[in-house]
Amino acid sequence: MLKGIWHRLTIGARVMLIDGDKVLLIRHTYVPGWQFPGGGVDPGEAIESAARREILEETGHRITGPMELFGIYHNTGTVTDRDHVVFYVARQFEVAFEFKPNREIAEAAWFERSALPEKVTPATSQRIDEYFDKAERRDIWGY
């Protein structure tokens, strides 16, 4: 019976908010490293809606314009080999409320892309390189 759980496809959505040469990153309370905001797509929820919801919940920023679908990646850093991340880029947003640390998110902060924090996750650094520097895109999300 448990075997069926491991065979289901899971989808997450992450977003790189960009302001000039700055990107917004978060640091969770339960996993190491700075990364893009995002999370799982709930049953019955569209992927883009999940991305917008997660950004608002995790950072206090509301996306006000279109999001660019940048890529879909196989996430090999989880307990299953069937997890995928849909990655968006957004440049239009507003601050809906001031972020305050909580049980899930310890910090949310803007960083110059050329001065990322020391403990940025590999996937985050790779997506920044792919977007800004036109580095070769990988199929793997990468942790």
Structural domain includes residue 58: yes
Structural domain includes residue 141: no
- Residue 65 near residue 130, CB atoms below 8 Å: no
Structural domain includes residue 7: yes
- Residue 105 near residue 127, CB atoms below 8 Å: no
Q: Given pLDDT bands bounded at 50, 70 and 90, which one contains residue 7?
A: low
Q: List the domain range (segments joined by +) for residue 88.
A: 3-132
Say if residue 77's pLDDT is above 70.
Answer: no
Task: List the CATH number of the domain containing 23.
Answer: 3.90.79.10
Structural domain includes residue 98: yes
Say if residue 75's pLDDT is above 90.
Answer: no
Threshold 0.85, pTM exceeds: yes
| Number of separate domains in the chain | 1
Say if residue 135's pLDDT is above 90.
Answer: yes
Q: Given pLDDT bands bounded at 50, 70 and 90, which one contains residue 81?
A: confident
The residues pairing with 61 across neighbouring beta strands, listed in sequence order, are 95
The residues pairing with 140 across neighbouring beta strands, listed in sequence order, are 74
Q: What was the pLDDT predicted at 33? A: 95
